[in-house]
């Protein structure tokens, strides 16, 4: 049985998603400055951005286009990769300006990842799943009262499609 796998490179989390898996992403900001998570989808070849509002702490990041507080990617008929990258800026930016944070070279320093999977004793009626918990650190500091891996927190929930669910039909890759 094929399941999602991942790689970490600094503040980048790459998720290899096999055929038939749904992915749901959400994040909160724990700092009062702007934070952005850029999500690149290899099927659509498009970026999505979830961002925090300057001055708001412990708020759910919102999609810069839809305003939704999560990003859902339906199961596909072919494998895909989703690349998640964390960015920040202490400059007060609003609206779509926040997407520019990803071009200014203000990548977060590093992420830490933990995950849980469907336990073996779970009833067969519960679909297979993996949930990743990602803790981002914008700036690493040696000492002081600054926490480590506490600047933003994200979850990526991957759920295996059941037989009665439908694919979302969006497998355009323009090839």
The string of DSSP letters for 57-110 reads: -SEE-EETTT--S-EEE---SS-EEEEEEEEEESS---GGGGGGGGGTT-B-SE
Report the DSSP beta bridge partners of residue 52.
none
pTM score of the predicted model: 0.86
- CB under 8 Å to 87, separation ≥6 — which residues? 11, 35, 36, 37, 38, 101, 102, 104, 106, 107, 108
Query: In DSSP terms, which residues pair with 41 in a beta bridge?
Result: 46, 82
pLDDT per residue, tens digit, the chain (175 aa), is 699 999 999 899 999 999 999 999 999 999 888 899 999 999 999 999 999 988 888 899 999 999 999 999 999 999 999 999 999 888 887 777 777 777 766 888 889 999 999 999 999 999 999 999 999 988 876 545 556 677 899 999 999 997 754 455 555 544 3
Nearest to 86 by CA among 140, 114, 49, 42: 49
Q: Report angle CA 124, 81, 12 to the nearest 5 degrees.
A: 110
Assign 3-state DSSP to the chain and report helix, strand, coil percentages, each to 5.
Answer: 5, 45, 50
- Cβ atoms within 10 Å, residue 171: 12
User: What is the Cα–Cα distance from 157 to 105, expressed in whole angstroms?
Assistant: 28
pLDDT value for 102: 78
CB atoms within 10 A of CB 94: 10
Pairing state between β 110-117 and 129-137: antiparallel
What is the per-residue pLDDT for 1?
63
The conformation of residue 52, written as its DSSP 8-state character, comes to P
What's the pLDDT at 132? 98
- Which pLDDT score is estimated for 123? 94
């Amino acid at each position: 049985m094929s399941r999602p796998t991942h790689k970490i490179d600094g503040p980048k989390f790459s998720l290899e998603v096999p055929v038939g898996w749904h992915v749901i992403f959400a994040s909160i900001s724990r700092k009062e400055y702007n934070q952005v998570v850029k999500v690149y989808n290899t099927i659509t070849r498009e970026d999505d951005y979830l961002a925090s509002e300057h001055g708001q702490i412990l708020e759910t990041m919102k999609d810069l286009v839809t305003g939704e507080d999560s990003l859902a990617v339906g199961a596909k008929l072919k494998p895909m990769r989703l690349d998640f990258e964390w960015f920040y800026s202490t400059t007060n930016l609003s609206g779509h300006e926040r997407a520019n944070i990803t071009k200014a070279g203000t990548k977060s320093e590093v992420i830490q990842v933990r995950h849980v999977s469907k336990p073996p004793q779970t009833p067969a009626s519960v679909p297979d799943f993996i949930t990743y918990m990602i803790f981002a650190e914008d700036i690493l500091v040696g000492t002081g009262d600054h926490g480590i891996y506490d600047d933003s927190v994200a979850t990526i929930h991957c759920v295996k499609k059941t037989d009665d669910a439908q694919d979302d039909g969006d497998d355009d890759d323009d090839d």
